[in-house]
Amino acid sequence: MPRKVLVLGGTDFVGPAVVGAALARGDEVTIFHRGQTGSAPDGVHVIHGDRTNAADLDALTGESWDMVVDAWSRAPRVVLESARKLEPHAARYVYISTISVYVEAHAGVITEASQTVDARPDADATDYAADKRGAELAIENVFGAERCVFARPGLILGPRENIGRLPWWLRRVAAGGDVLAPGPQDLAVQYIDARDLAAFAIETALDGAVNVLSHPGHTTMDEVLALCREVTGSSASFIWVDAGFLLAHEVEPWTELPIWVPPVGDMQGFYTCDSSLALRSGLTCRSARDTVQDTWSWLRDNPDWAQVVKENRSRVGMEPVREAALLAAWADQPPAAL
């Protein structure tokens, strides 16, 4: 049955995926945004406004909504105000959160029951994890546990990715030559395509927190890079470099070499998150091939996408000079170390 869906934002990576999923099922979709990061697709009603200005939210209180979808990642107090304004008019609040809300120092695999960071629902912006957790608390305090769901993804990939992790690898591999490939070659990679995240978030009947990710080992670093080479038609050669060597040379996981998380240190369990609740509750994950191919197609169709990435996003990727120096140093290692 079609629903009335209100998307707060809706034009920046996960937002368009949510809008697309809702439209595909026949929902009536309204986007509330400032109009600064993109335009709405055909068939979507648009209300312009700034959610940080509480008075602008009044434009949303004249209707009833079956669902509100939100992915805000800054000051929790902004989400608190939105929830208070919308609670009398909305049946359900869907929040796109993150597994970053779990404390870094945890025992065993991350589950929905794992300890979360300290946060306040009325706080100003502090750091990403506390901001996301504070937003969860804000929504739960206002809507109650039975009327909200917190979809917690980890790594999100797919078309329109606004961080630039997979796009960086695609462009780097497309450029050819010797490519520094971070080991181990069979490193398991767990992620969620934004489109699969969106489809699950707006369809699930679950309440509360749910980790929305593929199963651990959905793909590997080797497969991701091989697919990048395949879809771009590149003749690049991968030089697999030991994780210990990279860390000894102060290479930053996740940022300097996007997607890569070494199997040692604080982040070693990042790609082993328990997503069984979502998977047995209807989450389906498309293949890594589809994600890589569709992202490359998006980049080719939108060559200026790199300029769309927000200025407040951390730059990802390695400079060519740095990569060349590391490859040279790796080649100079004594044979016994190879």
Contact (CB, 8 A) for 112 and 95: no
Give the separation between CA 31 and CA 177, rounded to whole angstroms. Answer: 44
Instruction: Provide the pLDDT for residue 335.
Output: 65
Q: Among the three residues 152, 176, 191, which one is the final residue of a domain in this structure?
A: 152
Instruction: Provide the pLDDT for residue 103.
Output: 92
Contact (CB, 8 A) for 85 and 138: no
Same domain, 18 and 87: yes
Domain count, the chain: 2
CATH number, position 313:
3.90.25.10
In a domain, 312, yes or no: yes
Helix axes 128-143 and 76-86, enclosed angle (nearest 10): 20
Q: Give the HSE-up count for residue 186: Cα atoms under 13 Å, Cβ half-sphere.
A: 0
CATH number, position 83:
3.40.50.720
pLDDT in tens, the chain (338 residues): 899 999 998 778 899 999 999 999 999 999 999 876 667 778 899 999 999 998 999 999 999 999 999 999 999 999 999 999 999 999 999 999 999 999 986 668 999 999 999 999 999 999 999 999 999 999 999 999 999 999 999 999 999 998 899 999 999 999 999 999 999 999 999 999 999 999 999 999 999 999 999 999 999 999 999 999 999 999 999 999 999 999 999 999 999 999 999 988 777 788 999 999 999 999 999 999 999 999 999 999 988 876 665 444 567 899 999 999 999 999 998 765 44
Same domain, 105 and 175: no
Same domain, 164 and 124: no
Same domain, 179 and 147: no
Give the CA diameter of the chain: 72
- What is the sign, positive or negative, of the torsion defined by CA atoms of 317, 318, 320, 326? negative
Q: Among the three residues 92, 117, 152, which one is the final residue of a domain in this structure?
A: 152
In a domain, 337, yes or no: no
Task: Quote the pTM value.
Answer: 0.95
Same domain, 172 and 276: yes
Q: Among the three residues 103, 133, 152, which one is the final residue of a domain in this structure?
A: 152
Same domain, 51 and 76: yes
- Paired sense of beta strands 155-157 and 148-152, if any: unpaired
Same domain, 65 and 213: no
In a domain, 336, yes or no: no
In a domain, 262, yes or no: yes
Same domain, 142 and 161: no
Which residue, among 163, 157, 161, has the nearest Cα to 190 in the 3D structure? 157
Q: Which domain holds residue 109?
A: 4-152
Same domain, 146 and 201: no
Same domain, 180 and 92: no
Same domain, 279 and 298: yes
Same domain, 140 and 163: no
Give the separation between CA 132 and CA 136, rounded to whole angstroms. Answer: 6
Give the separation between CA 318 and CA 227, rounded to whole angstroms. Answer: 20
